[in-house]
């Protein structure tokens, strides 16, 4: 009994090997993969012969507009594309490419009128004949022919945080898109057909996102995000270089009061929870906002100096210094002449220009003529003290459309943002604070006000800015000495230089942080 079993086991592999040798084509299992060429998807049958994946050379020929010629006398096939060719024979692993011999790891197989080649042929031989790269994409199970097949290289990643879940869709080139929401379903329609998808469907273990799936339409691509639970809020941002669509799903906070995004003074100085990995290391665009303008004159000194004129002069000065000293940085002013501009329009200029920094320049005013020095502010829901509240109220009045609540503000082409407009700056508070601290320190040194620190107040100009943003009151125009100083071009230049130095300090501190643990590329699992 035992002996018999042994002999059977012994014979089995030999029989299998014999069968494979005699009738190799019968024994294959088929599966479907794809060739992606010229932005089309072509299914190909993959035939598994003895663990080796084969594909029909005739099918490749049809897809890639090449020719396959059988030479009966020599029992060989010639694969031709343009003026180049490869010659191969059934049962051989040697292929003549333009007269040079190339090996593929497995032998070709005759299959009726066709010849089967190992899939390796696609990545090894086709590039030699077509002068085009061919790469295998695991997620799409596709052989990608040429460069043009994948202009986007779309990736989807998540970044889970205690207070929110961030979904990051990144692509090599920008893709126009529209976002819509229907309760627990969020649909992003990309108005381009994305040929190579990162996946067709992916399930998430997160308590907010259940799954993300893609479907290709004729000329567009739809991404469907199915939510497991209704998030407290949803907001989306777009970034360039590289293109990123970022969607934040705010979690329901365990203790609602501690998580109120604006308006909780207890949280006012805690920037630690704000993610700031989104920014690239380099500051490329700075938007400077000269406060007030036109009919809105701002504060006026006892000797008649107007805030709107000083802010424009300092802003222009600052623009000159930055552009002279930092190569490749673009500086945009929200106004370059004495015109009216709404607060919302100014923030939108910063957002529209994808500014990396936003600096709103003002001059302080006080009934106390002795009040002096510079004050740098970042946003919060509540003012840090009464004096600060007054400053914010005064500056907020500057808006021509001050009756409009900030919640009504609209960011064009960004359907999710209206509800979340008010929270936009919250994401950047930590970096805003870092910039403000540097600026306050530089100005303290210049103005000899060593004790002064950064303050927070509900400035409307900062509310909708989706980048680090500060408002600086460079001096008190209502203080006769400072009014006199502010009139002086040398003094204006000194203030501009101090602000410029603070930007440099901010940049170098951010670089240090980025090199010690800031994660800019979190992969989800
Ligand atoms: Zn002002």
What would the pLDDT profile of 453-479 be if each residue is shown by its tens digit?
899 988 888 988 888 999 999 999 999
**For residue 365, how far is its CA from the centre of ligand 1 (angstroms)?**
8
SS3 475: strand
Which residues are CB-neighbours of 222 under 8 A, at least 6 positions away?
Answer: 187, 188, 189, 190, 214, 215, 216
CA–centroid distance, 300 to ligand 1, in Å, is 10
Distance 348 CA to ligand 1 centre (A): 18
Q: Is 182 helix (H, G, I), strand (E, B) or coil?
A: strand
CA of 420 to the centre of ligand 1 (A): 26
Q: Percent of the chain scored above 90 by pLDDT? A: 39
pLDDT greater than 90 at residue 391: no
Summarised one tens digit per residue, pLDDT across range 254-312 is 544 333 333 333 333 333 322 333 333 568 899 999 999 999 999 999 999 999 999 99
CATH 3.40.630.40 domain locations along the chain: 285-514
Q: With the CA atoms of 346, 359, 265 and 505 taken in that order, what torsion angle do they form, in degrees rounded to the nearest 10?
A: 160
- Calculate how far, in angstroms, residue 360's C-alpha sits from the geometric centre of ligand 1: 9
**For domain 155-260, which CATH number applies: 2.60.40.3470, 3.90.1150.10, 3.10.20.440, 3.50.50.60?**
2.60.40.3470
> How close is the Cα of 293 to the center of ligand 1, in Å?
10
Nearest to 153 by CA among 85, 243, 77: 243
CATH 3.40.630.40 fits 285-514, yes or no: yes
Which CATH superfamily does the domain covering 27-145 fall into? Copper amine oxidase-like, N-terminal domain (3.30.457.10)
Report CA(127)–ligand 1 centroid distance (Å).
Answer: 64
pTM of the shown model = 0.47
- Considering the chain, tell me which residue range(s) the CATH 2.60.40.3470 domain(s) occupy: 155-260
Q: For residue 457, how far is its CA from the centre of ligand 1 (angstroms)?
A: 14
What pLDDT is attached to residue 13?
Answer: 53
Instruction: Count CB atoms within 10 A of the CB of residue 194.
Output: 21
How far apart are the CA of 299 and the centre of ligand 1, in A?
7
Q: How far is the CA of 41 from the centre of ligand 1 (A)?
A: 58
CATH 3.30.457.10 domain locations along the chain: 27-145
Ligand 1 centroid distance, CA of 295 (Å): 13
Ligand 1 centroid from CA 391, angstroms: 8
Distance 486 CA to ligand 1 centre (A): 14
R_g of the chain, CA atoms, integer Å: 32
Residue 457 half-sphere exposure, CB side, CA atoms within 13 Å?
Answer: 24
CA of 399 to the centre of ligand 1 (A): 10
- How far away, in angstroms, is 441 Cα from ligand 1 center? 21
Is it the case that residue 132 has pLDDT exceeding 60? yes
* Average pLDDT in the chain: 80
Residue 214 CA to ligand 1 centre (angstroms) = 48
Q: Is 102 exposed, middle or buried (0-12, 13-18, 19+ CB in 10 A)?
A: middle
DSSP string computed for 400-451: TTTTS-GGG---TT-TTHHHHGGGGGGGGHHHHHHHHHHHHHHHHHHHT-TT
The string of pLDDT tens digits covering residues 200-220 is 888 888 888 999 999 877 778
**Quick count: other Cβ atoms within 10 Å of Cβ 217?**
11
């Amino acid at each position: 009994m035992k002996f018999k079993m042994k002999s059977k086991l012994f014979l089995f592999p030999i029989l299998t090997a014999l069968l494979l040798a005699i009738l190799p084509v019968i024994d294959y299992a088929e599966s479907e993969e794809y060739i992606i060429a010229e932005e089309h998807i072509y299914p190909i049958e993959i035939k598994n012969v003895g663990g080796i994946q084969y594909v029909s050379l005739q099918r490749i020929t049809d897809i890639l507009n090449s020719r396959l010629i059988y030479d009966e006398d020599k029992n060989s096939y010639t694969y031709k594309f343009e003026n180049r060719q490869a010659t191969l024979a059934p049962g051989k692993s040697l292929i003549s490419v333009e007269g040079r011999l190339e090996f593929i790891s497995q032998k070709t197989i005759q299959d009726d009128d066709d010849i089967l080649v190992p899939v390796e042929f696609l990545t090894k031989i086709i590039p030699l004949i077509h002068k085009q790269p061919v790469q295998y994409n695991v997620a799409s199970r596709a052989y990608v022919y040429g460069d043009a097949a994948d202009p986007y290289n779309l990736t989807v990643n998540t970044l889970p945080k205690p207070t929110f879940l961030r979904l990051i869709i990144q692509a090599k080139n920008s893709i126009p898109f529209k976002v819509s929401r229907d309760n627990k379903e969020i649909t992003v329609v990309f108005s381009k057909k994305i040929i190579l998808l990162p996946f067709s469907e992916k399930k998430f273990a997160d308590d907010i996102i259940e799954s993300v799936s893609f479907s290709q339409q004729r000329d567009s691509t739809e991404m469907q995000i199915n939510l497991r639970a209704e998030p407290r809020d949803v907001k989306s941002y777009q970034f360039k270089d590289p293109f990123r669509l970022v969607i934040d799903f705010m979690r329901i906070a365990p203790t609602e009061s501690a998580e109120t995004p604006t308006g909780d003074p207890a949280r006012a100085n805690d920037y630690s929870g704000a993610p700031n990995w989104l920014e690239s290391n380099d500051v490329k665009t700075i938007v400077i906002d000269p406060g007030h303008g036109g009919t809105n004159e701002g504060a006026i000194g006892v000797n008649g100096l107007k805030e709107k004129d000083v802010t424009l002069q300092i802003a222009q000065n600052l623009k000159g210094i930055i552009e002279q000293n930092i190569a490749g940085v673009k500086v945009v002013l929200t106004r370059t002449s004495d015109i009216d501009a709404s607060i919302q329009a100014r923030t939108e200029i910063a957002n529209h220009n994808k500014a990396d920094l936003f600096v709103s320049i003002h001059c302080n005013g006080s009934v106390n003529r002795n009040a002096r020095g510079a004050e740098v502010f970042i946003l919060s829901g509540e003012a840090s003290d009464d004096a600060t509240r007054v400053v914010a109220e005064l500056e907020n009045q500057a808006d021509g459309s001050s009756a409009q609540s900030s919640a009504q503000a609209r960011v064009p082409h960004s359907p999710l943002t209206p509800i979340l407009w008010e929270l936009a700056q919250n994401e950047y508070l930590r970096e805003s604070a870092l910039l403000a601290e540097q600026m306050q320190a530089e100005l303290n040194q210049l103005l000899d006000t060593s004790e002064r620190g950064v303050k927070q107040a509900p400035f409307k100009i900062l509310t909708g800015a989706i980048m680090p943003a500060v408002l600086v009151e460079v001096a008190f125009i209502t203080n006769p000495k400072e009014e006199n100083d502010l009139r002086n071009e040398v003094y204006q230049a000194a203030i501009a230089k101090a602000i410029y130095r603070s930007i440099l300090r901010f940049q170098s501190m951010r670089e240090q942080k980025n090199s010690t643990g800031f994660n800019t590329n979190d992969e989800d699992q």
